[in-house]
Amino acid sequence: MSILEKYSAALRNKDETVMNELLHDDFKFTMHKSGNVLTKGDVIKWAMSGDINQDKVRIVYENDEVGIHHAFVTFNDGNVEAVMAVYKYDNGKIISLETGATPMSK
């Protein structure tokens, strides 16, 4: 199973243990839509809240250095976004994540 497959499954299953294993301690998540930057702890807390519900997850490309994935994400407030994500890896762990999001009709 690839890193992105494991990460998507951990989000879907709210598996904090796997999230901790996959995310590098120096992990940073840059959200270009808002300009926010989240840490490993921030992302795990958000993922465990159940607010991130992905559908039609598609791994566009992945190798030992990077992963690119697209999904439609529905948040608890009802907002839906098409999210393109670029992940960078360091020693088999996700060290950075950058996303671009397009709001979709509800």
Percent of the chain with pLDDT over 70: 99
pTM for the model stands at 0.92
Which structural domain, as residue segments, surrounds residue 42? 3-104
Task: Name, in order, each residue with C-beta under 8 angstroms of 35's C-beta and a sequence gap of 6 or more.
Answer: none
Compare 59 and 32 and report the one with higher pLDDT: 59
Q: In the prediction, which pLDDT does 35 show? A: 86
Distance separating alpha carbons of residues 13 and 24, to the nearest angstrom: 20
Q: Give how many domains the chain has, as a whole number.
A: 1
Task: Name 21's Cβ contacts closer than 8 Å, sequence gap at least 6.
Answer: 93
Give pLDDT, residue 34. Answer: 84
For position 97, what pLDDT does the model report? 97
What CATH number should be reported for the domain holding residue 85?
Answer: 3.10.450.50
Residue 106 has pLDDT above 80, yes or no: no
CA-wise closest residue to 87 among 56, 58, 65, 57: 65
First to last CA, the chain: 33
